[in-house]
Chain A
Amino acid sequence: MVELETTIKNRAGIHARPSALIAQTAVKYSSRIFLEKAGNKINAKSIMGIITLAASFGSVIKITAEGPDEQAAAEAIKALFDSGFNEELG
């Protein structure tokens, strides 16, 4: 299992477009990927789940991945967060 931590860098937070990007990236990997914020853990392959996290600017998100391609999966998701989803950074 791989665990990485990241913070939300884009001003608007995780709204519909970023969550779609995350889910689309996550489904490319066969590992089970989860995002966790303040004790709420959700499946990173589900758009509605990611939106439900209500991750606003500056929130800390823990990414966990478990499976055959866990390292690559967790890093790809983290890279998305770090790029700020090509949006305006805060």
Chain B
Amino acid sequence: MENESSTFTVLDLIDLDLKEQNSLELKCVAGRSGLGRQLTVPDFNRPGLALAGFFESFAWDKLQIFGRGETAYLVKLDKENNHASVDKLFSYSIPCCIFTNSLLPSKSFLDAAEASGCPILSTPLSSSEFSSRVLRILYEIFAPKTTMHGVLVEVFGIGILLIGDSGVGKSETALELIERGHRLVADDVVEIRCVNGSVLMGQGANKMIGHHMEIRGLGIINITHLFGVGAIRDKKQVQLVCQLEDWNPEKVYDRIGMDELTCEILGVKVPKLEIPVKPGRNIPIIVETAAMNERLKKMGYHSAKEFNQNVMRWLESENERTLYFSRDDY
């Protein structure tokens, strides 16, 4: 956790807990002493040019991926007893070398790596598969992130972040939503990452204590045990922000739904609703309806705009106007 926020090392890359279709299946074959080397760029490099002796603009700070081509070239270099470029390669502080297709370099290469403390990893995946997986994973890890105070729930498939001051009823609203069959992603501390520059992924800050809620009067409750595994979700895109606030008689709340408020998180604009809380207002149902309305908008149907268009069409229709002007009581 803490490592993740500050530095990301090669060891962290091997240790990532990933599911089948994402797993990198890495194992370290040499240079264990260098596993603490840091990754600073979410990218990889194919070191073909470097091996051929061309080191200008060599991207030494990236992961170096050796596929069949690079490995075959290494074999050729080894046969010719030409170690100059390999030695030069290891003179850079490269984070690690990764051999795909379960390939392994020669003994002399491994010895050179060991001597310079550069970790050599091996994976059974093909180069293209490995590179697409590793890029996806690195982008997620290096994505800008922030934590927000709020509750993230999934309602009818829409990720809704409930925000508002302490005691306004965020957790209670979320509890009622869970009761009604929706899902809890994270309570209180929501960690949000900006993936691909436009998608905000929200999740709990800590897996160990995730999916617990604090309800005043009840204390801390375990949502998974109480409502079952169907009531929780590990992560979800933040698609709508609902700001709960105590009813302020001076403030003008949206009555039509034509103006679209947005909330900027990590540079991404997310639609926002301001929902005033007052006794007698059933907030969970309002949030549920907001979710359905959001889905309608995504399908291209905007209730408020459509309604207004109908009103305007009706006002403009010649028929109505003549009817209006021909009346004698206006």
Contact = CB atoms under 8 A, between A and B. Distances in A.
Interface of A: 16, 27, 38-43, 45-49, 51-52, 54
Contacts of B326: none
A52 B149 contact: no
B206 A52 contact: yes
A42 B147 CA distance: 8
A46 B213 CA distance: 10
B209 A51 contact: yes
A39 B6 contact: yes
A49 B210 CA distance: 11
B154 interface: no
A52 B205 CA distance: 7
The 7 A-B residue pairs with the shortest CB-CB distance, nearest first, are: A48-B188, A45-B166, A43-B149, A47-B214, A52-B189, A46-B188, A52-B205
- Residue with the highest number of chain B CB atoms closer than 10 Å, among A40, A45, A46, A47: A46
A88 B147 CA distance: 32
A27 B165 CA distance: 11
Contacts of A48: 187-189, 209, 212-214, 220
Contacts, number: 47
Given A42-B149, A46-B149, A46-B188, A16 B220 contact: yes
A59 to B, nearest CB: 11
Given A16-B220, A27-B167, A49 B206 contact: no
A49 B166 CA distance: 12
B2 interface: yes
Nearest to B167: A27
B1 interface: yes
Given A27-B166, A48-B212, A52-B189, 15 more contacts: A16-B220, A38-B2, A40-B205, A42-B189, A43-B166, A43-B188, A45-B166, A46-B149, A46-B189, A47-B214, A48-B209, A48-B213, A48-B214, A49-B188, A52-B205
B196 interface: no
A6 to B, nearest CB: 19
Contacts of A51: 209
Contacts of B1: 54
B322 interface: no
B132 interface: no
Interface in B1-29: 1-2, 5-6
Interface in B202-223: 205-206, 209, 212-214, 220
A47 B215 CA distance: 10
A76 B162 CA distance: 29
Contact of B5 (A16, A38, A42, A46): A38
A47 B217 CA distance: 13
11 contacts: A27-B167, A38-B5, A40-B5, A42-B147, A43-B166, A46-B189, A47-B188, A48-B213, A49-B188, A52-B188, A52-B206
Contacts of A42: 147, 149, 189
Contacts of B6: 38-39
Nearest to A44: B166
Contacts of B188: 43, 46-49, 52
- Residue with the highest number of chain B CB atoms closer than 10 Å, among A27, A42, A52: A52
A43 B168 CA distance: 14
Contacts of A16: 220
A43 B148 CA distance: 9
